[in-house]
Amino acid sequence: MISLQYNNLDNTASFHKLKNLDKRIDLKSFLTPERIRTYSIETGGKLSYNYAAMPVDEEIISLLQDLAEEQQLVEKYRALLSGEIMNTGENRKVLHHLLRGQLAGPVTYQGRDLRDFYISQQKRIFDFADKVHSGEIKGSTGKLFDTVVQIGIGGSDLGPRALHIALAGYAYETFGKPRMNARFISNVDPDDANCILHDLDPERCLFIIVSKSGTTQETLTNRQLVIEKMNRRGIAGLDPRKHMIAVTSETSPMAGSSEYLDSFFIDDFIGGRYSATSAVGGVILTLSYGREVFQSLLNGAHQSDKNALESDIRKNASLMDALIGVYLRNILLYPVTAVLPYSQALSRFPAHLQQLDMESNGKSVNRFGKPLNYPTGPVVFGEPGTNGQHSFYQLLHQGTDLIPLQFIGFKEPQYSFNPEIEGSNCQQKLIANLSAQIVAFAMGKDDSDPNKKFPGNRPSSLIFGERLNPEALGALLAHFENKIMFQGFTWNINSFDQEGVQLGKTLTRQILGGKSLDPLLEKYSTLLGIRK
Amino acid sequence: MISLQYNNLDNTASFHKLKNLDKRIDLKSFLTPERIRTYSIETGGKLSYNYAAMPVDEEIISLLQDLAEEQQLVEKYRALLSGEIMNTGENRKVLHHLLRGQLAGPVTYQGRDLRDFYISQQKRIFDFADKVHSGEIKGSTGKLFDTVVQIGIGGSDLGPRALHIALAGYAYETFGKPRMNARFISNVDPDDANCILHDLDPERCLFIIVSKSGTTQETLTNRQLVIEKMNRRGIAGLDPRKHMIAVTSETSPMAGSSEYLDSFFIDDFIGGRYSATSAVGGVILTLSYGREVFQSLLNGAHQSDKNALESDIRKNASLMDALIGVYLRNILLYPVTAVLPYSQALSRFPAHLQQLDMESNGKSVNRFGKPLNYPTGPVVFGEPGTNGQHSFYQLLHQGTDLIPLQFIGFKEPQYSFNPEIEGSNCQQKLIANLSAQIVAFAMGKDDSDPNKKFPGNRPSSLIFGERLNPEALGALLAHFENKIMFQGFTWNINSFDQEGVQLGKTLTRQILGGKSLDPLLEKYSTLLGIRK
């Protein structure tokens, strides 16, 4: 294996070449049908990444290729796959790819082959789900479980929730009703749990308590709230402990506790926001949609993971996406990216990407803890199209700031009912809107009335596929995970820790501890009515 | 009435004074308990706007007051209230405040008193809801309506949906089950309607078709999809037209059509994104939660509208919020604002604010159509706390860019079940997190390990109240509407049109029209599978 060098972006020659180019691509003259045809890269799940409407030309792309090589991006990915400690601050391997397949030699830890470990957990999930579905495992009062409720927050919530919503239509068309209904509780705000619980039948609910550390305040609080609420119902024989399973690490206080019907394990090498393809997402997706769906999701993710090994950026979708993103951020200096899925099924996917991207790359120090003097991860936001068109697109088209766009779309809908109305079916209308927006943003429109003028030159990329099925969804998820990883390597940061969440936790504990407080904490707590 | 002058921000003396001050407030030394106590303004619904953790001092506040006077912000609001044409491009009055109460003399149009008109529509809604609730109006097969489904997009969806979700817990605690269940269909993606429809009983569903113009593509398409789906069910006697009501303008093709059971009206002076307190939000909120809830919402909004008349910014919450926002945007040059409600009930409120703010003020020309050379509306995004703490807060705390924050919180939860767990109840835990975050963002934390260092000086404001009831929600909504209006006046833009949505519509029609196309539209349409 070649030796890896870790340099800041502004210590690379290619970055300075890009900067000195000082080139502004005019999309209005560059965007051509030929470019749309050729600036496209296939990745997993039959998805393609199209970057025709991004402000890059052959010269810039060559320099981005140089940057990829200079920063050894694919080599670092190979090192990560092979089990090197890439989460340096926490001294941990980074192994979410290994959940989906083996792309390097065996990775072992304390004498255990970790691919075997992850597969054994998948198998345990599948077996458990079979028993729940068949009624071998029932609720404590003898009723079949028909609803699964995930209690988790952050990575234990956003990814699994986004994926679950994304597959509802596919599952309905493929199997009819889901095997089990699924709900999610995350916020420590008691309104969250109360709202979900009040129309559920506790005798038929199975709760998945998800916390890698086994100590997450919100999750343990909500678990206890659920137990108290169940006990209050006074249902003879109802034992909350027989309605709860744990997803946690083997070393956590939750693991193997008699408080749980069963436990499924991840380890320290699966970061929260990268855990959707582990037991964290796998238990609920398998219980709700079946093992085949979860397995297809893993397969799709694995395909994108394989694509990310290509050393030629023109063939590597996530690498190209990553480096164009760096170009937008560090050369063109755009601070925000909008993610715009033309698929209602992806309604919560932007919220998951917000965590994936902003928690991974919202850092100001490099992997050695030294301050950086260039921008890192952007703000990410988005809502599905066409909804967004009737909302914030006004600013995207005519606002004073330029926001690069990341579109997502599919040729076919998930549901089969797609009637023709006024000369075109609903899906055609959706896709026509998507095509129109890409062109409108890039090309703009002149008008003698400045209020009706569109400046254009608003760059966008497009990830598109045939239909949003589990494989395509897995590939889409992995595409973004890998994009973000490559950007982290390019910026020379650790994309796998999250020290920025600690201070708030510490201060919260101080307030709840009830001891004498810092006067500012005291004053805000009084203002908000929790201290006298 | 004094005569109004419309000047660009950079033509005001106070803006240049602010700029020349070149002052950077160090929150770490400025934030004190005394400041937290005094930098607070009461507004409607028992809400307060607290700006202690914003980077302003007395000198800056005085200059913001000067700016308010120089730009005649409150005078322009008075002019708007009295019916002057404030939506200049479209030559329209702007009258959403009049839905809530009368704050100026009568406003008439074509001989009609518009306050009377709006009240008459509210009364018609209340009467109609009474008849549905009592069963006087039933479905076409004789069954009681138990579910109401709103079909609308943009302003006909985001506001009503956000408000409906926000009141679910309040309604449950106050009345038990809602009078009618409510669902929403917005996206032209057929997966949206299919997903909502497949578990509804069409015989018991009442659909509200909401489109001011009566021509919105998505909404008419979804209406037709619903009709075809209902017809396919082959239920004897089921007549979709007897399950649909219209909310539209009196001049639209939908008005009074025999395709609808009844119609409720707004007019051209109620902009889509400002229509949540009109029939657009009123019909579904009244059907679902009852007239008292909708009336309280209006009352709360009216209280904030009244507060916005204060000429002293130290007493005018929305004006202070607006001007601090301008200071952040045009002096400190921050391009993004995060809205962070510590209330799960407000989970979709940020999506509504995205439209309200970004569609109103994402403009590059002034109200006379002349290009501006300063930034206008920022990007707005957000998710509820504590969820966001486990997601994008990493970037907010330690990212390379500074994002000002707008927190929202309440002392009491909506649901009464709020058990004490490990020494504090759930709501106390929620509020402790909120207090901790404000202090963490402002004060930061030093550490010898730069990766664990928090730079602090991250500004935030806090809107807080007793409990999220209809009155507080109305006041919160109006606070932001008025903030955005004042910012538009400050920037000298028209916050009430949306020319930026037109180009996409035009190009979409071209694609669906099927004629010979612009080669770029042709190519993207082919790529996405809707043209051969």
Q: Are residues A342 and A312 in the same domain?
A: yes
Q: Is the pLDDT of residue B241 over 60?
A: yes
For B292, the enclosing helix (H) or strand (E) is: helix B291-307
pLDDT tens track for B361-378? 999 999 999 999 999 999
Q: Are residues A513 and A463 in the same domain?
A: no
pLDDT tens track for A232-283? 999 999 999 999 999 999 999 999 889 999 999 999 999 999 999 999 999 9
Q: Is residue A258 part of a domain?
A: yes
* Biggest CA pair distance of chain A: 76
pLDDT tens track for A218-243? 999 999 999 999 999 999 999 999 99
The beta-carbon neighbor of A511 closest among B344, B427, B432 is B432
Q: Is residue B438 part of a domain?
A: no
Q: What is the pTM of this model?
A: 0.98
Q: Is residue B278 part of a domain?
A: yes
Tell me how many domains chain B contains: 2
Q: CATH number of the domain at A117, please.
A: 3.40.50.10490
Is any Cβ of chain A less than 8 angstroms from the Cβ of B336? yes
Contact A351 B89 (CB under 8 A): no
**Residue B514 has what pLDDT?**
77
Structural domain ending residue among the three candidates B295, B320, B345 = B295
For residue A464, list chain B residues with Cβ-Cβ distance below 8 A: 527-528
For residue B157, list chain A residues with Cβ-Cβ distance below 8 A: 387, 390
For B80, the enclosing helix (H) or strand (E) is: helix B73-81
CA dist., res. A442 & res. A397, Å (int): 10
For residue A409, list chain B residues with Cβ-Cβ distance below 8 A: 528
Contact indicator for A179, A185 with CB cutoff of 8 Å = no
When pLDDT is averaged across residues B129-146 and rounded to a whole number, the result is 98
Average pLDDT of chain B to the nearest whole number: 97
HEC states along A293-342? HHHHHHHHHHHHHHHCCCCCHHHCHHHHHHHHHHHHHHHCCCCEEEEEEE
For residue A442, list chain B residues with Cβ-Cβ distance below 8 A: 520
C-alpha distance from B484 to closest chain A C-alpha (Å): 14
Whether ipTM tops 0.90, in short, is yes
**Residue B1 has what pLDDT?**
56
**Residue A531 has what pLDDT?**
79
Is any Cβ of chain B less than 8 angstroms from the Cβ of A332? no
Q: Omega before A147 cis (within 30°)?
A: no
Tokens 């020659």 appear where? A13
Domain, as residue range, for B522:
498-532
Tokens 């209330």 appear where? B343
pLDDT tens track for B86-105? 999 899 999 999 999 999 99
Is any Cβ of chain B less than 8 angstroms from the Cβ of A228? yes
Contact B33 A438 (CB under 8 A): no
Q: Is residue A19 part of a domain?
A: no
**Residue A93 has what pLDDT?**
98
Is any Cβ of chain B less than 8 angstroms from the Cβ of A218? yes
Contact indicator for B173, B414 with CB cutoff of 8 Å = yes
Return the percentage of chain B with pLDDT > 90, whole number: 97
Q: Is residue A101 part of a domain?
A: no
Structure tokens at B518: 């612009």
Q: For chain B, how many residues are written?
A: 532
pLDDT tens track for B243-268? 999 999 999 999 988 999 999 999 99
**Residue A1 has what pLDDT?**
56
**Residue A159 has what pLDDT?**
98
Q: Are residues A378 and A315 in the same domain?
A: yes
Is any Cβ of chain A less than 8 angstroms from the Cβ of B160? no
Is any Cβ of chain A less than 8 angstroms from the Cβ of B21? no
C-alpha distance from A112 to closest chain B C-alpha (Å): 31
Among residues B115, B467, B479, which one has the least CA distance to residue B302? Answer: B479
Q: How many CB pairs under 8 A join A and B?
A: 497
Return the percentage of chain A with pLDDT > 90, whole number: 97
Q: Are residues A461 and A320 in the same domain?
A: yes
Q: Are residues A117 and A246 in the same domain?
A: yes
Q: Is the pLDDT of residue A5 over 60?
A: yes
Contact A512 B395 (CB under 8 A): no
For residue B394, list chain A residues with Cβ-Cβ distance below 8 A: 358-359, 362-363, 498, 500-501
Q: Are residues A181 and A249 in the same domain?
A: yes
Q: Is residue B312 part of a domain?
A: no
Q: Are residues A158 and A258 in the same domain?
A: yes
User: Among all residues of B, which ones are annotated catalytic?
Assistant: 359, 390, 505
Structural domain ending residue among the three candidates A272, A296, A320 = A296
CA dist., res. A189 & res. B413, Å (int): 8
Shortest CA distance from B509: residue in chain A: A432
Q: Are residues A510 and A488 in the same domain?
A: no
Contact indicator for A200, A151 with CB cutoff of 8 Å = no
The beta-carbon neighbor of A344 closest among B187, B377, B403 is B187
Q: Are residues A112 and A253 in the same domain?
A: yes
- How is residue B355 annotated by DSSP? I
The beta-carbon neighbor of B426 closest among A190, A438, A464 is A190
The beta-carbon neighbor of A190 closest among B355, B370, B427 is B427
CA dist., res. B467 & res. B324, Å (int): 26
Is any Cβ of chain A less than 8 angstroms from the Cβ of B343? yes
- Among residues A390, A422, A515, A532, the one annotated as catalytic is A390
HEC states along B295-352? HHHHHHHHHHHHHCCCCCHHHCHHHHHHHHHHHHHHHCCCCEEEEEEECHHHCCHHHH
For residue B342, list chain A residues with Cβ-Cβ distance below 8 A: 189
**Residue B516 has what pLDDT?**
78
CA B452 to chain centre: 37
Contact B403 A379 (CB under 8 A): yes
Mutate to test the interface with B, among A503, A505, A525 (most CBs of B within 10 A): A503
Is any Cβ of chain A less than 8 angstroms from the Cβ of B370? yes
- For A193-208, b/e burial (b = at least 16 CB within 10 A) is bbbbbbebebbbbbbb
Contact B393 A501 (CB under 8 A): yes
When pLDDT is averaged across residues B485-493 and rounded to a whole number, the result is 98
The beta-carbon neighbor of A500 closest among B194, B273, B393 is B393
Q: Are residues A207 and A247 in the same domain?
A: yes
For B88, the enclosing helix (H) or strand (E) is: none
When pLDDT is averaged across residues B338-356 and rounded to a whole number, the result is 98
Q: Are residues A391 and A483 in the same domain?
A: yes
**Residue A341 has what pLDDT?**
98
Phi, psi torsion values for A206, nearest 5 degrees: -115, 125
For residue B190, list chain A residues with Cβ-Cβ distance below 8 A: 413, 415, 417-419, 425-427, 430
For residue A439, list chain B residues with Cβ-Cβ distance below 8 A: 507, 518, 520-521, 524
Shortest CA distance from B365: residue in chain A: A451
The torsion defined by the Cα of B119, B124, B126 and B127, in degrees rounded to 10, comes to 140
Is any Cβ of chain B less than 8 angstroms from the Cβ of A142? no
What is the DSSP code string of B394-436? Answer: HHHHHSSS---EEEEEEEE-SSS---EETTEEHHHHHHHHHHH
Phi, psi torsion values for A289, nearest 5 degrees: -115, -10
For residue A522, list chain B residues with Cβ-Cβ distance below 8 A: 33
The beta-carbon neighbor of B417 closest among A158, A194, A409 is A194
- Among residues A359, A383, A471, A481, the one annotated as catalytic is A359
Q: Is residue A246 part of a domain?
A: yes
Average pLDDT of chain A to the nearest whole number: 97
Structural domain ending residue among the three candidates B263, B295, B327 = B295
According to DSSP, the residues that pair with A467 across neighbouring strands are A412
What is the DSSP code string of B114-140? Answer: HHHHHHHHHHHHHHHHHHHHHTSS--T
The beta-carbon neighbor of A387 closest among B187, B437, B530 is B187
Among residues A12, A15, A9, A5, which one has the least CA distance to residue A63? Answer: A15
pLDDT tens track for B142-186? 999 999 999 999 999 999 999 999 999 999 999 999 999 999 999
Is any Cβ of chain B less than 8 angstroms from the Cβ of A30? no
pLDDT tens track for A173-188? 999 999 999 999 999 9
For residue B413, list chain A residues with Cβ-Cβ distance below 8 A: 189-191, 194
Q: Is residue B185 part of a domain?
A: yes
Q: What burial class does residue A141 get, using C-beta atoms within 10 Å of its C-beta: 0-12 exposed, 13-18 middle, 19+ buried?
A: middle
Active site residue A359: yes
Q: Are residues A135 and A112 in the same domain?
A: yes
